[in-house]
Amino acid sequence: MREAAIPSLFNRDCGILLHPSSLPCEFGIGDFGPCALRWLDQLAANWQNLWQILPLNPAGYGDSPYQSLSAFAANNAFLSPEALHESGLINDVELESLRLPNGFPVDYAAVYANKLELAARAARRFFGLDKQDPQRLAFADFLRGEADWLEPFALFSALKSKFGGVAWTRWPRAYRDRNPEVLEAAKVELAEDIQRIYFEQFHLSKQWRRVRWRAEELGIRIIGDLPIFVAHDSVDVWCRPELFRLSADGNPRVVAGVPPDYFSSTGQLWGNPLYDWEAHGATDFSWWRARLRKVLDWVDIVRIDHFRGFDACWEIPGEAATAMNGRWVPAPGWKLFEAFAADLGYPLPVIAEDLGVITPEVVALRDAFHLPGLRIEQFAFGSDAMKDTFLPDSYDGNCVAYTGTHDNDTVIGWFNSQPGIDSTRDAQAIEEERVAALAYFGGDGSRIHWDFIEKLYHSAAGAALMPVQDILGLGSEARMNTPGTASGSWGWRITDESALQSALALLSAVTVASGRGLAAEPVVQSISGPP
């Protein structure tokens, strides 16, 4: 790359991390309808100009958005009954029948049953419309434009249902190995289910597009999330096994994870199959380029989870019980990001999640493409060798700073944590962290979450973000995810809207005082051309 001025991706921006599933809504889960539009209005009214979400793809094992059934499709749990009602595809009685309590945790079984009923009813009406109806014409355009990923995803989903939800490696061999004649017969047999899935994806796209338009009107950018790896039980691996390191029966020969860390003394065994990078390189990374383009159809900026995996991945034998006995193997991150830059130009709309075991090579890769990295305020007070870099006083304009992420405990939960629960810290380490935090902030801990937020917003970080749980001052009961656990995550929701309004009002004052977000002075940047 030749040297040139590259504009910054962020300039005193700020906002909140909140997955759509956590939005208050009367249908059991937040969705892409009015609740998302109201949330954007609330952000703008309180000077925030960023909304960060987790992956929007169909959740897989453990209801995790990081173990998705597809890297390209959207989760049908986010289909809005109210939006379909507004389109005339369900009636008043049907809308009322779909209501579920606005509680937490999310009852995913009830939600998916509800959304299946919703889609089935609405699809029958939709396909009863004349083919020249504007809605049907738009649907036909959508099918043509998205066929590359949509047709395989619909067939995969219909087959998964046919075989009782088991992983594709446990399907009858002809289906597992994608026998062409068998799959053609399946398309006929499962035509109704396939058409319903097309319908779901069309309306999810339509509903989210309305959310994007509203965000743009309000001056809010949406930050998405792209997991570096895909789930083994996904259409991506089933359809393109040559892109992954698999055995003849489709099972992974090696899997992804991380070595022992803050969260687990035996490491984290994620179980995702590792890429065959040579095969990806032979296609000029076409699958990866299409994947990033698709995510950026949905969001303005994307955080790539586990960025260090583009330099080297922690390779674990496929049959291993823990992540301890792995090894680092190189990955072609430079070539891949050169391809991304050729497609998208600069600044790349990418945030590098550069936490964990970060080497000089990872830093060089991140900085060469001018990617902002992450700073986690909670990590500033522990034993991490890099803890000083997590102190707000050390932040610079090319970092994205958080009180904590979806993987961390809340600030209140962290401050009041107990030894041996959800981390590798003992009682002494926890107490030392508390003492260090109190000394740094100069308070008594009674408003520790606001100590964190105020320091974060007044820092030099290009963007300041926090989970909504931290402005609400909630404890560990509100944690979104606990890494290394198979269940019990991803279910938290906002249930007290009056508390949310009060917390946002306090955040509004902090935002104005720190000159961030929509309260920041506009800055005109000089761009001399792409590097």
Asked whether residue 407 is domain-assigned, the answer is: yes
Give domain status of residue 197, yes or no. no
353 counts as catalytic: yes
- Residue 423: the pLDDT is 65
| Residue 530, pLDDT above cutoff 50 | no
Say how many domains are in the chain: 1
Q: Which position has the higher pLDDT, 255 or 325?
A: 255
Round to whole Å and give the CA distance between 192 and 187: 9
Q: Phi then psi for 24, rounded to 5 degrees?
A: -70, 130
- Quick check: bond before 134 cis, omega within 30? no
What is the pLDDT of the chain when averaged over all its residues?
Answer: 93
The verdict on residue 86 lying in a domain is: no
What is the distance between the alpha carbons of residues 91 and 86, in angstroms, rounded to a whole number?
A: 9
CA–CA separation, 357 vs 500, rounded Å? 36
**DSSP SS3 for 329:** strand
Neighbours of 314 (CB within 10 A): 25
CA end-to-end span of the chain: 6
Predicted confidence at residue 189, as pLDDT, reads 98
Q: Dihedrals φ, ψ of 477, to 5°?
A: -65, -20
Is residue 2 over pLDDT 70? no
Residue 59 vs residues 64, 77, 90, 287: alpha-carbon distances, Å: 5, 9, 25, 20
DSSP string, 256-311: EEE-S-SS-TT-EEEEEEPB-HHHHHHTTTHHHHHHHHHHHHH-SEEEEETGGGGT
Does the annotation count 233 as an active-site position? no
Q: Is 305 a catalytic residue?
A: yes
Active-site pick, 353, 433, 451, 454: 353
Contact at 8 Å (CB) between 390 and 400? no
464 pLDDT more than 90? yes
Of the candidates 357, 414, 465, which has an alpha carbon nearest to the alpha carbon of residue 16?
465
Q: Single out the catalytic residue among 31, 236, 305, 451.
A: 305
Q: The domain containing residue 483 runs over which residues?
A: 375-497
Closest by alpha carbon to 228, among 21, 369, 55, 361? 55
Whether residue 194 lies inside any domain: the answer is: no
For residue 422, what pLDDT band results from cuts at 50, 70 and 90? low
The per-residue pLDDT for range 272-330, each reduced to its tens digit, is 999 999 999 999 999 999 999 999 999 999 999 999 999 999 999 988 989 888 999 99
| Dihedrals phi, psi of 16, to nearest 5 degrees | -130, 140
pLDDT of residue 443: 87
Task: Determine which one of 407, 422, 454, 470 is catalytic.
Answer: 407
User: In whole angstroms, what is the distance from residue 260 CA to residue 518 CA?
Assistant: 41
pLDDT at 521 (0 to 100): 63
- Identify whether 20 is part of a domain: no
| pLDDT band (50, 70, 90) for residue 449 | very high
Q: Is 224 helix (H, G, I), strand (E, B) or coil?
A: strand
| Predicted pLDDT at 4 | 59
Is 292 domain-assigned? no
Q: Which residue matches tokens 């040579």?
A: 278
Would you call 203 exposed, middle or buried from its count of C-beta atoms within 10 A (0-12, 13-18, 19+)?
Answer: buried
Rounded to 10°, the helix 134-162/191-218 angle is: 120
| Cα–Cα nearest to 448, from 494, 404, 508, 397 | 404
DSSP annotation of 187 reads H
8 Å CB contact between 49 and 219 = yes
Give DSSP secondary structure letters for 68-130. Answer: -S-SSS--GGG--HHHHHHTTSS-HHHHHHT-B---SS--HHHHHHHHHHHHHHHHHHHHTS-
- 79-135 per-position pLDDT tens digit: 999 999 999 999 999 999 999 988 889 999 999 999 999 999 999 999 999 999 999
Q: What is the pLDDT of residue 334?
A: 97
Sign of the CA dihedral with 168 first, then 174, 177, and 180 last: negative
Residue 396 CB neighbour total at 10 angstroms: 12
| 84-91 contact pairs (CB < 8 A, 24+) | 84/118, 84/122, 84/203, 87/135, 87/203, 88/125, 89/121, 89/122, 89/125, 89/126, 90/118, 90/121, 90/122, 90/125
Instruction: Report the Cα 342 to chain-centroid distance in Å.
Output: 24
Lowest mean pLDDT among 86-95, 235-244, 253-262, 276-285: 253-262
Exposure of 52 in the CB half-sphere (CA atoms within 13 A)? 24
Give pLDDT, residue 524. 34
**Spatial distance between the Cα atoms of 392 and 328, rounded to a whole number of angstroms:** 31
Residue 531: per-residue pLDDT: 30
Distances from the Cα of 97 to the Cαs of 25, 90, 114, 203, in angstroms? 14, 11, 9, 20
Of 193-197, 260-264, 446-450, minimum mean pLDDT range: 260-264
Instruction: For residue 129, give both structure tokens.
Output: 């419309």
Quick one: tokens of 213? 């338009």
Q: Classify residue 424: in a domain, yes or no.
A: yes
Give the Cα separation of 270 and 264 in Å (integer).
Answer: 12
Confidence of residue 529 (pLDDT cuts 50, 70, 90): very low
